[in-house]
Amino acid sequence: MELGLSRKHEAFRDDVRAFLDEKLTPELAQAGARMTSVYSDYESAMAWHRILFEKGWIAPGWPVEYGGTGWDVVERYIFQSECARAGTPGISPMGVGMCGPVLIGHGSKEQKDFYLPRILSGEDFWCQGYSEPGAGSDLASLQMSAVEDGDDFICNGTKIWTTHAQHANRIFCLVRTDGSGKPQQGITFLLIDMGTPGIKVDPIIMLTGEHIQNQIFFDDVRVPKKNVVGKIGEGWTVAKYLLEFERGNAYAPGLHERLKKIRAMASEERGGDGTRLIDDAAFAGKLSDAEVALTAIEYTEHRVLSTLSQGGAPGAASSMLKTRGTEMSQHLTELAIEAAHYYIAPFQPHVTRPGGPVPGFKPPAQKDAVGPEHSLTVMGKYLNDRAGSIYAGSNEIQRGIMSKAVLGL
């Protein structure tokens, strides 16, 4: 097996690095470096989105005929790896990474012609309407109703944990159009304009103080039937297709970069006695264990790349990567706390880049950061990442999927 890059891919990597050196401004680099969430703040995300769109690199995974780059799977992985190395802000995955692929795979021609260009340009900013107060990991128990009324549906219910709904002008939703059969039946995938009368967005403030998540209420919201993706009552099939993309992100490049930073933090002297955390055998062992686990994640991602390059789907491997990737991410936040030591204590969102505004926080008169640059985001990331093993389907559910699909249990 040849694990090195071909000359073609080495040249592509050099092109990506040159682009990042030119286009990643100091302001955007700082925004990426000081993220405390898995999501960039809206302004930074959209600024980087526009740069990638202008270059034609906003949708690496899309087919060329819909505005994709034409890159092979190795080139896409290289691009993601180099963005992680450079520390770019993340773009919102809801449009380009989720709704776009679903429309390409299941949407009508009219839907593709209308929505896809707007997703690429950033004119439409999407959020995801899946979870409900009584239907999170058990998504099939969702109750938001959509009742037929001529050429429309009348929608009533609520969605929760909806990321950046306060910024979104559109939402893709799972709604119940028929409750007479099994839970997975009678669910429909529906596109909704967030400006439609009857929609209300309430903020949910996270442990970090950030306003990233929301609860959305739908009160007699009228939605045209032409906004159904796929067929009425067959939204569960569309939803599963989407979740393979949501759970199939490449984790290893970003995790490797974070581990490098933790190692560098631990290599600095603590206090004036010359001691370093990296010299502690127990902590050094933790770093080595994390490196081994990350290598396993990386090689699993390479297996998925091979499958995708042959026209296959990620399948159960997406559940495996989502589980191991999010749990490793949480573990790295714990190692970072050990490395940052007492610098984790100050609450200073005014010098970081939270994934959303921090309502009620008043910056101190002395606005300079407390502590070294590498420690500013440590506690924020730790608190924010507690949700990692829950979102996109809890890791307990992912293990159930793997046990059925892989082990036949």
Question: How far is the C-alpha of 245 from the C-alpha of 343, rounded, in Å?
Answer: 37
Question: How far is the C-alpha of 295 from the C-alpha of 180, rounded, in Å?
Answer: 47
**Could you tell me if 133 and 13 lie in one domain?**
no
Residue 342: per-residue pLDDT: 87
Count CA atoms closer than 13 A to 314's CA, side-chain side: 24
Q: Is residue 112 part of a domain?
A: no
Asked if residue 202 has pLDDT above 60, the reply is yes
Question: How far is the C-alpha of 384 from the C-alpha of 332, rounded, in Å?
Answer: 13
Asked if residue 304 has pLDDT above 50, the reply is yes
**Could you tell me if 28 and 53 lie in one domain?**
yes
19-38 per-position pLDDT tens digit: 999 999 999 999 999 999 98
Asked if residue 271 has pLDDT above 80, the reply is no
pTM over 0.85: yes
Query: Which CATH number fits the domain that encloses residue 269?
Result: 1.20.140.10
Q: Is residue 32 part of a domain?
A: yes
41-70 per-position pLDDT tens digit: 999 999 999 999 999 999 998 999 999 999
Question: How far is the C-alpha of 224 from the C-alpha of 99, rounded, in Å?
Answer: 18
Q: Is residue 262 part of a domain?
A: yes
The answer to whether 210 and 36 have CB atoms below 8 angstroms apart is yes
Q: How many domains, in total, are found in the chain?
A: 3
**Could you tell me if 215 and 260 lie in one domain?**
no
pLDDT band at 1, cuts 50/70/90?
very low
Contacts 24+ apart (CB under 8 A), 297-300: 297/251, 297/252, 297/255, 297/321, 297/324, 297/325, 297/328, 298/252, 298/256, 300/324
Residue 249: per-residue pLDDT: 63
Domain final residue pick, 179, 201, 234: 234
What stretches of 272-315 show up as alpha helix (H) in DSSP? 281-309
**Could you tell me if 230 and 255 lie in one domain?**
no
Domain final residue pick, 200, 234, 268: 234
**Could you tell me if 191 and 276 lie in one domain?**
no
Asked if residue 87 has pLDDT above 90, the reply is yes
Count CA atoms closer than 13 A to 322's CA, side-chain side: 28
Question: How far is the C-alpha of 342 from the C-alpha of 244, rounded, in Å?
Answer: 40
Closest CA to 254 of 195, 143, 328: 328
Residue 35: per-residue pLDDT: 95
Residue 206: per-residue pLDDT: 92
Residue 6: per-residue pLDDT: 86
**Interval 93-108 mean pLDDT:** 95
Asked if residue 245 has pLDDT above 70, the reply is no
Asked if residue 247 has pLDDT above 50, the reply is no
**Could you tell me if 372 and 257 lie in one domain?**
yes
Asked if residue 301 has pLDDT above 60, the reply is yes
- Return mean pLDDT, the chain: 92
**Could you tell me if 227 and 313 lie in one domain?**
no
Question: How far is the C-alpha of 329 from the C-alpha of 18, rounded, in Å?
Answer: 29
**Interval 385-391 mean pLDDT:** 88
Question: How far is the C-alpha of 199 from the C-alpha of 365, rounded, in Å?
Answer: 39
Residue range(s) defining the domain that contains residue 269: 248-405
Please say whether the dihedral angle defined by the alpha carbons of residues 289, 291, 297 and 299, taken in this order, is positive or negative: negative
**Could you tell me if 166 and 230 lie in one domain?**
yes
| Burial degree of 57 (CB within 10 A; 0-12, 13-18, 19+) | middle
**Interval 386-400 mean pLDDT:** 86
Domain final residue pick, 207, 234, 261: 234
Asked if residue 230 has pLDDT above 70, the reply is yes
Residue 118: per-residue pLDDT: 98
Closest CA to 210 of 255, 158, 163: 163
**Interval 312-329 mean pLDDT:** 86
**Could you tell me if 274 and 386 lie in one domain?**
yes
- Which residue has better confidence, 366 or 145? 145
Q: Is residue 325 part of a domain?
A: yes
